[in-house]
């Protein structure tokens, strides 16, 4: 099944891929098999008003209005029952403004389009655009390596001390919240920097040290946060998985020539590069909440992780017919699992076959897939580039392979989780490098 041409939304999907998959080495997805129609009606619930509830079928959007989109539902796998479906996205909620990539918010904003919001994470592509990293060398966190303070840092206006101290507290609280929200994702570090542009207003810039600023499921960023990654594909590829996210934040902010006020990170080690570039910083930030305390939920003012890289696609998923989206998500899953060069394990192939045929996979097979996922995450976390302060391309490639493996398995595991939606599946697939546009009419015709 060749995906239909996407138009504006298809282009946004491609831009979203640039936020993760371009750095992860995108691939052309294979032809997915035509899935058999389900033997029983899909178990979509009553009309929904919430994100993770099942939505009632809507009239299918035309490819012109919403070229390509997804949504879907999931239940825990049970032997002898149809394949589980993820919690589908609700319909009818008002769209949130998209989270913008850093650099698009500190300059004078362009007038937004009346149709589809521009994709976050799309590279500028403009000739003469400033590089997203300091020229010449890659100063790191290792002690004794030293740094050379770039000209743009020396020339940037200094932020007053009292302002920097206040900004550091803002950044510290933001990191504490992010650590708590992602506490189930082991080995992940966050950094938040405060930048001040021409207006002097503070802008919070965030990055994790997984992939190109990967966001785990269940972490909902405030709408006013800006991503350090997603503006420049070369930057994303160069600092992909960089172990100290504070350095990624600093590089992204100073490439725009704005004043760095403060940076806070959960990463344990100080960095010469950060210390030389910012007035106030904090390392080793820990959460103040108890593990049992509830994390911020997806409410107005916060964004689902798919919204951070493809906001219009997310909204289209929410409006789409859930049956069509369910079929689309099977195609996305197939592309994520079989789009690479590695042969999936027997357990993965068994579960994929069950998902594609609307059957239930044995619990033991699901557990084997979860074990593979845990292993891939552990391997990726153990070899993030930058531990010695050096940018080693070979180490980055090894890390990248394990990161992609983890995101492919995460895509598949979304089918077994009650709490995850189609948007989570699509986000994971994009991070794995899978890019298939959604056309409801094309899906329905198969």
Summarised one tens digit per residue, pLDDT across range 295-350 is: 899 999 999 999 999 898 898 889 898 888 898 899 999 999 998 878 999 999 99
Inform me whether the pLDDT recorded for 396 exceeds 70: yes
Q: How far is CA 409 from CA 271, 324, 415, in A?
A: 33, 23, 11
By mean pLDDT, which of 25-29, 92-96, 211-215, 258-262 is the weakest? 92-96
Residue of 428 and 20 predicted with greater confidence? 428
pLDDT tens-digit series, residues 234-263: 999 999 999 999 999 999 998 877 888 999
pLDDT of residue 380: 96
Q: What is the mean pLDDT of residues 382-390?
A: 89
pLDDT of residue 174: 97
Inform me whether the pLDDT recorded for 167 exceeds 90: yes
Mean residue pLDDT of the chain comes to 72
Report the C-alpha gap between 85 and 35 in whole angstroms.
15
pTM of the predicted protein model? 0.70
Residue 397 pLDDT level (bands cut at 50, 70, 90): very high
pLDDT of residue 165: 87
pLDDT of residue 86: 58
Report the C-alpha gap between 65 and 176 in whole angstroms.
40
Q: What is the mean pLDDT of residues 142-160?
A: 44
> Which range is most confident: 12-26, 40-54, 80-94, 99-113?
12-26
pLDDT tens-digit series, residues 78-122: 333 334 445 545 433 334 444 444 333 333 333 333 333 333 333
Residue 52 pLDDT level (bands cut at 50, 70, 90): very low
Q: What is the mean pLDDT of residues 122-126?
A: 33
Residue of 152 and 334 predicted with greater confidence? 334
pLDDT of residue 185: 94
Residue 302 phi, psi (nearest 5): -125, 160
Inform me whether the pLDDT recorded for 188 exceeds 90: yes
pLDDT of residue 95: 41
Q: What is the mean pLDDT of residues 193-200?
A: 85
By mean pLDDT, which of 152-156, 185-189, 428-432 is the weakest? 152-156
């Amino acid at each position: 099944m060749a995906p239909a041409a996407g138009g504006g939304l298809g282009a946004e999907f491609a831009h979203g891929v640039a936020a993760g998959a371009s750095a992860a080495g995108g691939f052309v997805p294979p032809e997915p098999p035509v899935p058999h129609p389900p033997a029983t009606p899909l178990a979509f619930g009553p009309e929904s008003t919430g994100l993770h509830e099942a939505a009632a079928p809507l009239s299918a959007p035309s490819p012109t209005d919403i070229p390509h989109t997804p949504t879907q539902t999931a239940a825990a796998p049970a032997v002898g029952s149809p394949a589980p479906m993820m919690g589908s996205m609700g319909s009818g909620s008002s769209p949130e403004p998209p989270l913008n990539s850093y650099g698009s918010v500190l300059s004078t904003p362009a007038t937004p389009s009346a149709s589809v919001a521009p994709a976050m994470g799309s590279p500028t592509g403009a000739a003469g655009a400033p590089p997203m990293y300091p020229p010449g060398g890659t100063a790191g966190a290792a002690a004794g390596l030293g740094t050379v303070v770039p000209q743009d840092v020396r020339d940037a206006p200094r932020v007053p001390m009292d302002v920097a101290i206040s900004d550091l507290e803002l950044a510290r609280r933001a990191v504490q919240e992010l650590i708590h929200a992602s506490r189930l994702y082991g080995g992940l570090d966050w950094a938040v920097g405060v930048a001040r542009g021409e207006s002097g207003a503070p802008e919070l810039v965030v990055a994790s040290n997984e992939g190109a600023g990967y966001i785990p499921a269940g972490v909902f960023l405030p709408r006013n946060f800006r991503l350090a990654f997603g503006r420049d594909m070369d930057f994303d590829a160069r600092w992909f998985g960089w172990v100290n996210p504070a350095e990624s934040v600093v590089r992204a902010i100073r490439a725009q020539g704005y004043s760095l006020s403060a940076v806070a990170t959960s990463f344990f080690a100080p960095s010469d590069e950060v210390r030389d570039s910012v007035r106030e910083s904090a390392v080793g930030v820990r959460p103040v909440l108890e593990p049992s305390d509830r994390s911020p939920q997806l409410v107005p003012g916060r964004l689902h992780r798919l919204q951070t890289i493809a906001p219009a696609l997310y909204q289209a998923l929410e409006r789409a017919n859930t049956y069509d989206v369910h079929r689309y998500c099977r195609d996305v899953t197939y592309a994520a699992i079989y789009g690479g060069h590695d042969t999936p394990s027997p357990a993965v192939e068994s579960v994929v076959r069950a998902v594609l045929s609307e059957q239930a996979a044995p619990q033991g097979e699901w557990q084997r897939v979860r074990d593979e996922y845990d292993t891939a995450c552990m391997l990726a976390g153990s070899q993030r580039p930058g531990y010695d302060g050096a940018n080693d391309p070979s180490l980055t490639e090894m890390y990248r392979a394990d990161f992609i493996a983890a995101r492919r398995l995460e895509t598949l595991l979304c089918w077994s989780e009650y709490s995850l939606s189609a948007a989570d599946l699509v986000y994971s697939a994009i991070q794995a490098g899978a890019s298939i546009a959604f056309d409801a009419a094309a899906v329905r015709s198969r």
